[in-house]
Structure 1
Amino acid sequence: MRNYSTQKLPIKVLHNSQKTLTTYTTNEEVSKIESKTYIIKDEAGLHARPASIICSRASKYPGDIDIIYKEQRFTLKSIMILMSLGVPQGAEITIEANGEGELDIINDLDTILNEHNLV
Protein backbone atom coordinates (compact mmCIF):
# COMPACT_ATOMS: atom_id res chain seq x y z
CA MET A 1 0.00 0.00 0.00
CA ARG A 2 1.14 3.50 -0.78
CA ASN A 3 1.35 6.01 2.00
CA TYR A 4 1.96 9.56 0.87
CA SER A 5 3.46 11.63 3.63
CA THR A 6 2.38 15.20 4.17
CA GLN A 7 5.55 16.30 2.37
CA LYS A 8 4.18 15.15 -0.98
CA LEU A 9 1.94 17.64 -2.70
CA PRO A 10 -0.05 17.15 -5.88
CA ILE A 11 1.39 19.51 -8.45
CA LYS A 12 -0.60 18.59 -11.53
CA VAL A 13 -3.88 16.81 -12.20
CA LEU A 14 -5.04 16.19 -15.76
CA HIS A 15 -8.47 14.76 -16.52
CA ASN A 16 -9.18 13.18 -19.89
CA SER A 17 -12.55 11.45 -20.01
CA GLN A 18 -12.18 8.70 -17.41
CA LYS A 19 -8.37 8.79 -17.27
CA THR A 20 -6.58 10.74 -14.58
CA LEU A 21 -2.90 11.49 -14.28
CA THR A 22 -1.77 12.90 -10.97
CA THR A 23 1.82 13.89 -10.33
CA TYR A 24 3.17 14.03 -6.78
CA THR A 25 6.47 15.56 -5.82
CA THR A 26 8.88 15.80 -2.92
CA ASN A 27 12.38 17.16 -2.81
CA GLU A 28 13.71 13.77 -3.93
CA GLU A 29 11.27 12.23 -6.37
CA VAL A 30 8.51 12.69 -8.90
CA SER A 31 5.90 9.95 -8.86
CA LYS A 32 3.23 9.62 -11.56
CA ILE A 33 -0.02 7.81 -10.98
CA GLU A 34 -2.01 6.68 -13.99
CA SER A 35 -5.59 5.53 -13.49
CA LYS A 36 -8.66 4.59 -15.46
CA THR A 37 -12.24 4.04 -14.31
CA TYR A 38 -14.58 1.40 -15.72
CA ILE A 39 -18.15 0.15 -15.36
CA ILE A 40 -18.36 -3.67 -15.44
CA LYS A 41 -20.86 -4.76 -18.11
CA ASP A 42 -20.50 -8.55 -18.08
CA GLU A 43 -23.50 -10.31 -16.50
CA ALA A 44 -21.14 -12.45 -14.41
CA GLY A 45 -19.26 -9.39 -13.16
CA LEU A 46 -15.49 -9.57 -12.84
CA HIS A 47 -15.22 -13.37 -13.04
CA ALA A 48 -12.37 -15.86 -12.65
CA ARG A 49 -10.91 -16.16 -16.16
CA PRO A 50 -10.23 -12.46 -16.85
CA ALA A 51 -9.39 -11.89 -13.17
CA SER A 52 -6.60 -14.47 -13.36
CA ILE A 53 -5.23 -12.92 -16.56
CA ILE A 54 -5.38 -9.43 -15.01
CA CYS A 55 -3.57 -10.57 -11.85
CA SER A 56 -0.95 -12.43 -13.86
CA ARG A 57 -0.22 -9.33 -15.96
CA ALA A 58 -0.28 -7.02 -12.92
CA SER A 59 2.14 -9.29 -11.04
CA LYS A 60 4.78 -8.71 -13.73
CA TYR A 61 4.57 -4.95 -13.20
CA PRO A 62 7.33 -3.74 -10.85
CA GLY A 63 5.37 -0.80 -9.40
CA ASP A 64 2.21 -0.56 -7.32
CA ILE A 65 -1.01 -1.45 -9.10
CA ASP A 66 -4.33 -1.30 -7.31
CA ILE A 67 -8.03 -1.68 -7.91
CA ILE A 68 -10.34 0.77 -6.20
CA TYR A 69 -13.80 -0.63 -5.54
CA LYS A 70 -16.41 0.81 -3.18
CA GLU A 71 -13.93 3.54 -2.23
CA GLN A 72 -11.43 0.98 -0.93
CA ARG A 73 -8.02 0.20 -2.41
CA PHE A 74 -6.76 -3.35 -2.98
CA THR A 75 -3.71 -4.77 -4.72
CA LEU A 76 -4.37 -6.06 -8.20
CA LYS A 77 -1.54 -8.59 -7.91
CA SER A 78 -3.54 -11.11 -5.85
CA ILE A 79 -6.19 -13.32 -7.46
CA MET A 80 -7.57 -14.18 -4.00
CA ILE A 81 -8.14 -10.54 -3.16
CA LEU A 82 -9.60 -9.73 -6.56
CA MET A 83 -12.04 -12.66 -6.51
CA SER A 84 -13.05 -11.96 -2.89
CA LEU A 85 -14.30 -8.52 -3.94
CA GLY A 86 -17.16 -10.11 -5.90
CA VAL A 87 -17.39 -7.20 -8.35
CA PRO A 88 -20.87 -7.47 -9.94
CA GLN A 89 -22.29 -6.22 -13.22
CA GLY A 90 -22.81 -2.45 -13.14
CA ALA A 91 -20.11 -1.84 -10.54
CA GLU A 92 -17.56 0.93 -10.95
CA ILE A 93 -13.88 0.10 -10.55
CA THR A 94 -10.73 2.17 -10.95
CA ILE A 95 -7.37 0.69 -11.82
CA GLU A 96 -4.43 2.75 -10.63
CA ALA A 97 -0.73 2.23 -11.42
CA ASN A 98 2.24 3.97 -9.86
CA GLY A 99 5.81 3.49 -11.00
CA GLU A 100 7.84 3.11 -14.16
CA GLY A 101 5.71 2.12 -17.15
CA GLU A 102 2.40 2.97 -15.47
CA LEU A 103 0.75 4.00 -18.75
CA ASP A 104 1.81 0.73 -20.43
CA ILE A 105 0.31 -1.47 -17.70
CA ILE A 106 -2.94 0.54 -17.67
CA ASN A 107 -3.18 0.10 -21.46
CA ASP A 108 -2.43 -3.66 -21.17
CA LEU A 109 -5.15 -4.11 -18.55
CA ASP A 110 -7.55 -1.99 -20.60
CA THR A 111 -7.00 -4.36 -23.53
CA ILE A 112 -7.68 -7.41 -21.35
CA LEU A 113 -10.90 -5.91 -19.95
CA ASN A 114 -12.13 -5.04 -23.44
CA GLU A 115 -11.10 -8.38 -25.02
CA HIS A 116 -13.14 -10.23 -22.40
CA ASN A 117 -16.12 -7.86 -22.84
CA LEU A 118 -16.04 -6.88 -19.18
CA VAL A 119 -16.34 -3.17 -19.91
Structure 2
Amino acid sequence: MESREIVLKHEKGLHLRPAGKVCDLALKFQSRTEMKVGTGVYNLKSMLSVLSAQVADGTKMEIVCSGPDEREALASICALLEHLDENGSEVV
Protein backbone atom coordinates (compact mmCIF):
# COMPACT_ATOMS: atom_id res chain seq x y z
CA MET A 1 0.00 0.00 0.00
CA GLU A 2 1.23 3.47 -0.93
CA SER A 3 -0.31 6.77 0.17
CA ARG A 4 0.31 10.49 -0.02
CA GLU A 5 -1.40 13.52 1.49
CA ILE A 6 -2.15 16.41 -0.82
CA VAL A 7 -4.16 19.63 -0.70
CA LEU A 8 -6.46 20.34 -3.64
CA LYS A 9 -5.60 23.71 -5.16
CA HIS A 10 -8.40 24.22 -7.64
CA GLU A 11 -10.68 27.22 -7.30
CA LYS A 12 -13.82 25.29 -8.27
CA GLY A 13 -12.98 22.16 -6.28
CA LEU A 14 -13.29 18.65 -7.60
CA HIS A 15 -16.33 19.23 -9.84
CA LEU A 16 -17.63 17.06 -12.69
CA ARG A 17 -14.87 17.55 -15.27
CA PRO A 18 -11.80 17.01 -13.03
CA ALA A 19 -13.59 14.20 -11.17
CA GLY A 20 -14.12 12.48 -14.52
CA LYS A 21 -10.47 12.85 -15.40
CA VAL A 22 -9.44 11.37 -12.04
CA CYS A 23 -11.82 8.43 -12.52
CA ASP A 24 -10.63 7.80 -16.08
CA LEU A 25 -7.04 7.78 -14.88
CA ALA A 26 -7.74 5.53 -11.87
CA LEU A 27 -9.50 3.00 -14.12
CA LYS A 28 -6.27 2.50 -16.08
CA PHE A 29 -4.64 0.85 -13.07
CA GLN A 30 -5.19 -2.58 -11.56
CA SER A 31 -4.61 -1.25 -8.05
CA ARG A 32 -7.37 -0.24 -5.70
CA THR A 33 -7.44 3.56 -5.61
CA GLU A 34 -9.09 5.57 -2.84
CA MET A 35 -9.29 9.11 -1.56
CA LYS A 36 -9.67 9.77 2.15
CA VAL A 37 -11.27 13.10 3.06
CA GLY A 38 -12.01 13.67 6.72
CA THR A 39 -13.60 10.44 7.95
CA GLY A 40 -14.84 9.42 4.49
CA VAL A 41 -13.21 6.98 2.09
CA TYR A 42 -14.06 7.37 -1.61
CA ASN A 43 -13.40 5.03 -4.53
CA LEU A 44 -11.49 6.93 -7.23
CA LYS A 45 -12.81 4.54 -9.89
CA SER A 46 -16.40 5.65 -9.21
CA MET A 47 -17.57 9.05 -10.44
CA LEU A 48 -20.45 9.12 -7.94
CA SER A 49 -18.09 8.28 -5.09
CA VAL A 50 -15.64 11.04 -6.05
CA LEU A 51 -18.38 13.64 -6.48
CA SER A 52 -19.99 12.66 -3.18
CA ALA A 53 -16.78 13.67 -1.38
CA GLN A 54 -17.63 17.31 -2.21
CA VAL A 55 -13.95 18.30 -2.31
CA ALA A 56 -13.49 22.08 -2.30
CA ASP A 57 -10.42 24.21 -2.94
CA GLY A 58 -7.95 23.83 -0.07
CA THR A 59 -9.27 20.44 1.04
CA LYS A 60 -6.64 18.12 2.52
CA MET A 61 -6.95 14.53 1.32
CA GLU A 62 -5.00 11.30 1.36
CA ILE A 63 -4.68 9.28 -1.83
CA VAL A 64 -4.25 5.56 -1.12
CA CYS A 65 -3.35 2.92 -3.71
CA SER A 66 -2.82 -0.78 -3.14
CA GLY A 67 -2.04 -3.41 -5.73
CA PRO A 68 0.49 -4.45 -8.35
CA ASP A 69 0.91 -0.97 -9.88
CA GLU A 70 0.30 1.10 -6.73
CA ARG A 71 3.35 3.35 -7.05
CA GLU A 72 2.60 4.32 -10.62
CA ALA A 73 -1.09 4.81 -9.80
CA LEU A 74 -0.30 7.02 -6.81
CA ALA A 75 2.22 9.15 -8.70
CA SER A 76 -0.11 9.63 -11.69
CA ILE A 77 -3.23 10.44 -9.68
CA CYS A 78 -1.43 12.86 -7.36
CA ALA A 79 0.23 14.60 -10.32
CA LEU A 80 -3.17 15.10 -11.94
CA LEU A 81 -4.80 16.41 -8.76
CA GLU A 82 -1.89 18.74 -7.98
CA HIS A 83 -1.82 20.32 -11.46
CA LEU A 84 -5.41 21.02 -12.52
CA ASP A 85 -6.27 24.11 -14.58
CA GLU A 86 -9.61 25.97 -14.41
CA ASN A 87 -11.23 23.46 -16.78
CA GLY A 88 -10.12 20.46 -14.77
CA SER A 89 -7.36 19.48 -17.19
CA GLU A 90 -3.83 18.70 -16.08
CA VAL A 91 -1.35 21.52 -16.55
CA VAL A 92 2.02 20.22 -17.74
* TM-score (norm. length: structure 2): 0.83
1:51 equivalent to 2:22? Answer: no
* 1:68 paired residue number: 36
* 1:104 paired residue number: 72
Q: d(CA) in 2 for partners of 1:60 and 1:76?
A: 11
Map 1:5-16 onto structure 2 (within 5 A): none
* 1:87 paired residue number: 55
Count, aligned residues = 86
Q: In proportion to residue count, which structure has more strand? A: 1
Identity of aligned residues (%): 27
Deviation string 1:10-64 (CA, Å, 9 cap, x unpaired) is: xxxxxxxxxxxxxxxxxxxxxxx11111111212111222211110111121121
- 1:102 partner letter: E
Secondary structure, aligned partner of 2:10: coil
Q: d(CA) in 2 for partners of 1:104 and 1:62?
A: 10
Q: d(CA) in 2 for partners of 1:78 and 1:108?
A: 17
Moved over 4 A (4+): none
* Higher relative contact order, chain-length normalized (CA < 8 Å, sep 6+): 2
* TM-score (norm. length: structure 1): 0.66
* 1:16 paired residue number: none
Q: In proportion to residue count, which structure has more helix? A: 2
Deviation string 1:96-119 (CA, Å, 9 cap, x unpaired) is: 00010111011111221233158x
Q: Tell me, which stretches of 5 or more residues in structure 1 are unaligned?
A: 1-32
